[in-house]
């Protein structure tokens, strides 16, 4: 599912960026309500989805000789959460979707990780761990759980 290019960010609580590799990234959004989330994402069940990932497409440039060259934009996609609805499981779940897209589009690839090529498994595990820690901490800062606010 591709991203919605034009968004109404008036109901956006926070926007973050997570790096993937050296030059790629995902934007992460925290929306103030289910309604603003539904209006600014694509491919979700309105009123039901608690988070989502919308992915940026990539394409192949084919030369006259038939050589294929994969072209991937720096922005790999977007991860979206809703204020008061995110949990550890939802954050990990959505970031896992982002990780899978990262593995299919840039190096190291999923195949590199599966076959443990040149430390690729460690690279991916550290990157995912960093994403999880970064986003979970930022969500807690910008949208602390109600029961903790007392």
pLDDT in tens, 79-115: 999 999 999 999 999 999 999 999 999 999 999 999 9
Percent of the chain with pLDDT over 70: 96
Distance CA 43, CA 126 (A): 30
Distance CA 30, CA 33 (A): 9
DSSP assignment of 21-66: TTTEEEEEEEESSHHHHHHH-SS--TTT-SEEEEEPPEEEEE-TT-
The confidence score (pLDDT) of residue 150 equals: 44
Distance CA 148, CA 150 (A): 6
The confidence score (pLDDT) of residue 145 equals: 76
Stated as kind and residue range, the H or E segment containing 14 is: strand 12-20
Maximum Cα–Cα distance across the chain: 67
Q: Which of 29, 41, 26, 120 is nearest to 74 (CA)?
A: 26
The confidence score (pLDDT) of residue 1 equals: 61
The mean pLDDT values, 10 residues at a time, for the chain of 150 residues are: 89 97 97 97 92 93 89 96 96 98 95 93 97 97 72
The confidence score (pLDDT) of residue 146 equals: 63
């Amino acid at each position: 599912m591709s991203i919605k290019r034009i968004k109404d960010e008036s109901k956006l609580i926070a926007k973050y960026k997570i790096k993937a590799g050296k030059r790629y990234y995902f934007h992460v959004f925290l929306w103030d309500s289910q309604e603003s989330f539904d209006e600014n994402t694509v491919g979700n069940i309105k009123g039901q989805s608690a988070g989502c990932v919308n992915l940026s497409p990539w394409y192949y440039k084919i030369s006259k000789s038939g050589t294929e060259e994969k072209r991937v934009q720096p922005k790999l996609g977007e991860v979206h959460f809703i204020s008061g609805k995110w949990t550890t499981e939802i954050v990990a779940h959505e970031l896992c979707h982002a990780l899978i897209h990262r593995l299919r589009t840039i190096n190291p690839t999923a195949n590199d990780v599966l076959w443990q090529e040149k430390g690729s498994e460690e690279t991916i595990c550290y990157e995912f761990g960093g994403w999880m820690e970064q986003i979970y901490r930022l969500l807690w800062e910008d949208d602390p759980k109600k029961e903790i606010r007392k």
